[in-house]
Structures are given as C-alpha cells and as structure tokens.
Chain A
C-alpha cells in the first residue's frame, strides 16, 4: 500500500467505535420473516452497500433504523450507546437522515418547505419564517447543486435530479452523522447520477457514514467500502469491496454462496 491517494475509500478507520451497530434485527409481517436476525455495522466516513434481490429485506432493515417502522427484536447501537427508535423523529434526533427511494417530498410545497418539513424555522411569534428557510436552503444548495434556482416553486415542477437535490439538502442541512440512501440514483439520468456520486464521496470525506441501498452493482463497487449481502431476510455476509470480485458478490446475491464457495461453473451460469 504505497499509493493511497487514488483509493481514498480504503482509508476507513475500523479501530474506533462504529457509528451504528444493528444486532440480530428481526422484523416479521404476519408470518413472513422480512428480516431474520441480521447484524450490520457502519464506521465514520464509510459507505456500506446493502445489496440483494427484490424482497431480500434491505429496505425493511433500513426502515427500522430510520424509524419508519419498528423492529420486533434486536439492538440498535449508535456511537456505542443502545438506543430505541420508534419514529422518524427519534432517528433524526440521533443524527440519522434518510433519502428514501420515493424521495418522500411533498410535491405541492416548495424546496425550502420540503427541506425543513417537520423542522420549520419560526420567528419569535411562532410563525413560519419562510424567508429564513429559503435563504438557508439556498446556502445548502450552493454546495450541492449550484445551478438550483427554483426555491419558490412547488417541487412537482422540478426535474428528477433537482428533486433529488432537495431530498439530499434536507439530510445535509441538519448535519446528518448517518445517512441512509435508498436507491439514490434509480430515478436519475447519467449526469445527475454522476452528481449524486460526487456528493457521496464528498459526504464521506466529511466523516459521515452512509448506508447505500442499490440494485446497481457498478454503483456499489464504485462507491462503497464494504458490501453486506442479504437474501430472503437473512444476511449472507459482509465483505470488503477490495477483497472480492463482482462475480463473487453476484454469487452471494443470487445463490447465497460465500466468496470462494461458488464454483467457476456456477459463476459462468450467472452470466449465461
């Protein structure tokens, strides 16, 4: 390891306390175990990709961390302290911010209103301070998307990339320590995807830990430090990106085989 500058993603410090540890998380819907005893962790400045097919339980797992719905059993430990997350407000209190797949924006409200949704700035009479919120939003946007101008129009009329900027601005403005990105590039064009990728690198450099849920194996390999693979509600394994090949990760996703377990013939079948 002589040249570390070209591989900044390997510089994660695993010696300290993890930002988040989720231990033995279980969630059941009716009789179906959507998440069945999964443990994952995340360190400062690290990107952990959560991958798996449809219905593997990635979103459900991450929703328990975001407070979107509770887990049936298991522990969540943030900065070494066990915590209870019952709703989105609890999660935000712990510095956990989420960018949901469906973006979770109120279409009829402007960018500033969305960035501050649920955490509005108010003046001394308790009324909404729209000018202050617009001004703060403009400042965050300067960092994320300098071309963003439409602070006062409902976000319905914005493009996919601009809407994504609004969703990310919401997380960034409130100084997230832990960021959850659920398919952040699914709805975006190539240029906008590149923008989001830059942003991930930038946030990582600031010491923010990111859980990245993605279907795109290229995104996963380009952005993440470690990869946790889920299959049918269970964790197949967590691997360091630098120690595996894409084929090995595909074998984990599809067949649930550990790296090295899958035969070359099986891997050939994956491509067939």
Chain B
C-alpha cells in the first residue's frame, strides 16, 4: 500500500469513519454512558408525565417537592451501593431508620427536657439528638457488619434479623410505640419545608460554589494528567463540560429552588436542607468511593474477593466499614424523615429497604459485585420518586404505582444486562415490553 492509497475513501468508508470518530469522541470524553443514559431516561419520564398531567409535572413546586422526597432514599442509596458492590445486602435499613428516628425523637422530647429536666427547645437539643442518632447508627452498623465480616453469617440473614429486631425495639421503647410529637424547633428544620431551606441569597452562594467546584475539578484533573503526560481531553470539550455543568446548576437553582415561592410568606424558598444534606453526602461518598483506599478496596473485593485477599487487603475490615457507613447514613435519613413529619411514628421507614435497594439497582449497581456508582444511585432514587410523584399527579392508586415501580425495576436491570452483553435487540424488546406494561397499568389505574 502506498501513501496515496490511504487517502482514498469511498462514501461508505466516510460514513463508517464518521461513526467511528463519534464513538472515539465519546470515548475520549470519558463520559459514563450508563449515567448519561439514565439522565436521558429521567428526562423522558419527566416530559412524559408533564404531557400526561397537562403541564403539572414540570413546575417549580412539583420539582422542589420531588427533590425533598427523593433526598431521604437517595442518602441511604449512596451507602447501599457500597454494600451491594461488595456482594452483600442490607435489608435492615428501613427498620434501622425507624428505630434511629424514634431514638432521636425520644432524646429531644423525653430525655433532655424531662429526664434531665433541661426543658424544651434548647439551642443544643438538635445537636445532641442528631449526634446520638449518628453514633448509634454507626454502632449498630458496626455490629451487623462485624457479624457479616468476621462471623461469616450471610448479610442477607444478619440484616433480615436486624429488620425484625430494630422494628421490634421501637415498640419496646417507652410507651409501647406511641407517636412522639412535636419535635425540637431547630431539629425540625432538617426536614425541609419553607423554613428548612436556604432562602434566596444563600441558594445562590451554594450555586456559585457548585460552579466554582465544577470548574476547579475539571481544571485540576486536566493539570494532573498533563503533568504525567497521560493524554487529556480536547480543551474545547473540557470548557464545554464546565460551561454545561455551570448552566445546569444555575438553571436548577433559578427554576426550582428560587422559582418555588413559599406558600406562607411568598418569598422564594431556596434549596431545602435535605437536598443540601444529599448534595454533601453524594460528594463525600463519591470521594470515598473513587479517591480513598477504602473505596478502592470495596470495589476490588466486589470484583474479585480472592484477588483482594491475596493483594493483602484487610477485606473483613473493609466489609464491616461498609455497614458502619450504611448505619450512619440511615441515621441521617432518619433525621430528615422524622423532622419532615415533625414526629416519630412506629411505622417510619417501612419498606424503605426496598426503595433504597431499587434505587441502587436502577442506578446501575450490580448484584454480581464490583459495579456501581454513587451518582447513579442518587439518579436511581430520583427516577423512582419521579415515577411515584408523577403517578400521584395522575391520580393513580397506590397498588398500581407499586406495580409500575416493580415493572420499571426489572426492566431497568434487564436493559442494563442486555447492554452489557451487547444484545441490542433483546434490550429493545425488554424496553418495549416494560413500556407497554407500564402504560397499560397507568392507563387502567387512573381513578
């Protein structure tokens, strides 16, 4: 072949090359295609519900509520990712959430004001209650994790036990599980609502911080890769990502957080505290999963437990700590949920374990181990909550909602595994079957 031959291309070659360059462009962007697909799925769901509900879905009010409702499940889902990635499961999170919420409520409504005689609504009440909850969550997580990792009892069994034990303990506490209300005035703010939000100017500060963070992290990763001569994305692409990221953040805050005006005062509410907590948790957990040794070990263990052992990793400790983290996150969610209700009730968190596991799985976490992302799980939680919230807007009864969520869960996992096996047709078949069943259930479930 001579040099001149190389430049001769037929039209079909050209088309093939275009396709190739698009693919290589996608590859060089290092965008997580799975995550990208989920964002597209979420947008499709939003637009579909918006059309079906006659424009009621994509309103500031609905999206703001959606963000608050998603937060508590999403917070726990970030921890569930690490548990499932390391080939375990935690069925106890719903009961644990209920128990921790109840304990925190007892601390602020009984122990501090009555048992210790310090009175209600002290400045420190919420801090003590939250600290007790987080600590207890960590301890309970450590106990469950210890039995799984060092005792060799399957996580399914241990946490099934926990599922029964923590729910049962709620009823054994104090007055046979009476509802505890109202809660501390400051603690209540953790749950969101017009008062438990950042307000206008602080939301903007948060948004600007977010934009600065996006730009800085893109710049930093570029600088590091240049230093080690590892090949960087085209400069234009990096700038494009930075601009896009900033636009999304600013649009989100302007349209959702500021756009939703408090029904009481009429002022813009801003970003709700549960969402702020979720953002912080997502960033921290992503950092732990991607940038810390612990996270690397969790994924290595999930990918090949034997290799992790032979690599000299303390795999038992690693597994135990995934449960400790899960316990702490349950406590955070418990605080959000009790504060939102302004009460602790005995059935708090019932079935939450299923929502949390579904969120993680819809978010691309694989039960085979070793695969899953924190942002994926958060997106999974938002997708689940979007489905529920959309169906509520369409006045679909709750049993039909459950059917649709169940169908979507199985369909999502089927699509994911077909894509992984490279079976395009099966993937499309699964997608259409799932869509048709969901559509029929939604249509017939309208009241």
Contacts and interface: CB of A to CB of B under 8 A. Distances in A.
Interface of A: 66, 68, 87-89, 92, 98, 100, 102-109, 113-114, 117-120, 122, 126-128, 131-132, 134-135, 138, 151-152
Q: Interface of chain A, helix or strand or loop or mixed? A: loop
Interface residues of B, number: 29
Contacts of B252: none
Contact of A131 (B230, B290, B303, B371): B230
B312 A98 contact: no
A108 B296 CA distance: 11
B227 A131 contact: yes
A104 B311 CA distance: 8
A61 B312 CA distance: 19
The 3 closest A-B pairs by CB, nearest first: A118-B311, A108-B303, A106-B303
Interface in B283-318: 287, 290-293, 296, 299-304, 306-313
Interface in B188-232: 224-225, 227-230
Given A108-B299, A118-B312, 13 more contacts: A88-B310, A104-B310, A105-B304, A105-B307, A107-B303, A107-B304, A108-B370, A109-B299, A114-B307, A117-B296, A117-B311, A128-B290, A131-B225
A117 B307 contact: yes
B296 A134 contact: no
Contact of B300 (A102, A113, A135, A138): A113
A104 B309 CA distance: 9
A107 B292 contact: no
Given A87-B312, A98-B310, A107-B370, A135 B228 contact: yes
A146 to B, nearest CB: 16
A131 B230 CA distance: 8
A122 B312 CA distance: 17
A102 B307 CA distance: 9
A87 B300 CA distance: 18
Contacts of A89: 312
Contacts of A131: 224-225, 227-228, 230
Interface in B224-244: 224-225, 227-230
B316 to A, nearest CB: 12
A88 B312 contact: yes
A233 B373 CA distance: 46
A105 B307 CA distance: 6
A102 B304 CA distance: 11
Contacts of A132: 228
23 contacts: A68-B310, A88-B309, A89-B312, A92-B312, A98-B310, A100-B310, A104-B306, A104-B311, A105-B304, A106-B299, A106-B370, A107-B304, A108-B303, A109-B300, A113-B296, A114-B307, A117-B313, A127-B292, A128-B290, A128-B291, A128-B293, A131-B224, A152-B30
